Amino acid sequence: MPATARDHGSHDGSAGDADYGAIGVSYRRYRRPDPRIARVVTAALGPARTVCNVGAGAGSYEPTDRGVVAVEPSATMRVQRPSGAAPVLAATAEALPFATGAFEAAMTTFSVHQWADLAAGLAELRRISRGPVAVLTGDPGRLDRFWLAHYCPEVLDVERRRYPSVAELAEGLRGHVRHQVVPVPLDCLDGFNEAYYGRPEALLDPLARRSCSAWSFVEGGVVDRFEAHLGADLADGTWDRRWGDLRSRPEFAGSLVLVVAEPG
């Protein structure tokens, strides 16, 4: 298994189990916020005028119509934030440098599976927010809905181990917690694995895979087998015979979920 940030430390400050100094350089190109998913996240924040975005990466899904302060430990990710993006601090979810109740809402997207101490990070989100906390993440119980389970179960096994369950998130956030499955659009701009449910050829692009951190935890031989298997099935029509209807399905209800906690 490749070395991870938690194994050896990351030169760019990555605080989780993946080294974004090594894998994060293509995120701004491949992990662009999708406006349809963004609308769901923004709606969950309600009328909050001030928002803290924790594990903010390159700035995906930060609302632009209210005051945002971002937190991101990885220098590689911080430098990819576009001009005019919200101010960003180098800090971790487990130790946020803000007063209790400093924000009207808090959010985190595709981040909780990276945290070294999930309970501490969730408690910090709850502490700094006077209102809702919105968490966009993957539900490990829904991962096998995606055809990648057939071609590279090892990647989904990595995600299953890393993603906290909805129950774990609810326990850590407390208060009144609800969750919803967020449909992934066929032409999704944000290149997480399931974004390619109807565009399988895209996952043969090494940079697309590199922009999904789970791929950094599988052996090179596994990746070679995946490329050969999927490539062959695309070439001879096997993939299309089994899953070809996905090429025209406008949305896919996979593992993407939004968990929202209101104060108790």
Q: Long-range contact list for 227-233, CB < 8 A, 24+ apart? A: 229/151, 230/151, 230/200, 230/203, 230/204, 231/204, 233/151
- pLDDT tops 60 at residue 19: no
Strands 50-54 and 256-262: unpaired
- pLDDT tops 70 at residue 35: yes
With a CB cutoff of 8 Å and minimum separation 6, the contacts of 242 are: 147
Report the pLDDT value the prediction gives residue 8, as an integer from 0 to 100: 36
Adjacent-strand bridge partners of 179: 259
Instruction: Name residue, tokens 């208060």.
Output: 175
Strands 88-89 and 105-109: unpaired
On whether the CB atoms of residues 162 and 113 are closer than 8 A, the answer is yes
- Name the band, by pLDDT with cuts 50, 70 and 90, for residue 188: very high
Q: What percent of the chain has pLDDT over 70?
A: 90
Q: 0.85 exceeded by the pTM?
A: yes
pLDDT tens by residue, 36-82:
999 999 999 999 999 999 999 888 899 999 999 999 999 988 988 98
5-262 folds as: Rossmann fold (3.40.50)
- pLDDT tops 90 at residue 166: yes
Report the pLDDT value the prediction gives residue 164, as an integer from 0 to 100: 97
Report the pLDDT value the prediction gives residue 28, as an integer from 0 to 100: 73
pLDDT tens by residue, 216-264:
999 999 999 999 999 999 999 999 999 999 999 999 999 999 999 999 8
Region for 161 from its dihedrals, namely left if φ exceeds 0, alpha if ψ lies in -120 to 50, beta otherwise = alpha
Average pLDDT, the chain: 91
Q: Decide: helix, strand or coil at residue 115.
A: coil
Region for 107 from its dihedrals, namely left if φ exceeds 0, alpha if ψ lies in -120 to 50, beta otherwise = beta
